[in-house]
Amino acid sequence: MRNIRSDKIHGFAIELLQINNPNKHALMLLISNYQRQDLVLIDKVIFKKQNKFSFHHWELDTLLIFKENIDPAAVELMLYIYNQGWCTYCREGFIDIMIANDWLPSSMHAELLHDCNLDIREKAKKSINPHRIEQFLL
């Protein structure tokens, strides 16, 4: 159902996300059905205290949502997931989205240049104005 765009599927996903312990497949339903007002519910799920395995499940679905749906209001959430997530694939995915849309805050450049993921480091180097890269390498 995650690939079907439908108001009914969107409504079902919202119902699942509004309960106290949302179904682990609820975010997946928003991949093709995301609407900007859904960000509040996604925030609620992601910011809820949970173990690292649950977090990763929500993290991956959130990545897939924002790969398909451009929403600059989600930058804060993406930065939070980057900082909290332990999956380098997901972290790189959020960085890719922010770089592609020119949303990456300059405050992140120095950190990304030292990321454990060498691909993230390279992407950070390419995204920084070549005349300013020295300031981030110090």
134 pLDDT more than 70: no
In a domain, 54, yes or no: yes
Give the pLDDT of residue 33. 97
* Contact assessment for residue 43 and residue 65, using Cβ atoms and an 8 Å cutoff: no
Q: What is the mean pLDDT of residues 8-20?
A: 93
Of residues 5 and 52, which shows the higher confidence score? Answer: 5
Q: What is the mean pLDDT of residues 39-58?
A: 88
Q: What is the dihedral of CA 53, 56, 57, 58, to 10 degrees?
A: 120
In a domain, 115, yes or no: no
Using alpha carbons, list the distances in angstroms from residue 7 to 11, 25, 86, 112: 6, 17, 33, 38
Give me the helices (H) in the chain, please.
7-18, 39-47, 52-68, 75-84, 88-100, 109-112, 118-127, 133-137
> Apex CA 77: angle with CA 16 and CA 133, to 5°?
155
Give the pLDDT of residue 58. 93
DSSP letter at 74?
A: G
Give the pLDDT of residue 44. 92
In a domain, 121, yes or no: no
- pTM for the whole structure: 0.87
Give the pLDDT of residue 77. 96
Q: What is the mean pLDDT of residues 8-17?
A: 94
In a domain, 63, yes or no: yes
In a domain, 122, yes or no: no
- Tell me the residue range of the domain where 48 lies: 7-104
67 pLDDT more than 60: yes
In a domain, 67, yes or no: yes
Other Cβ atoms within 10 Å of 116 Cβ, number: 8
End-to-end CA distance of the chain: 49
In a domain, 137, yes or no: no
Number of domains the chain contains: 1
pLDDT category of residue 14 using cuts at 50, 70 and 90: very high
In a domain, 123, yes or no: no
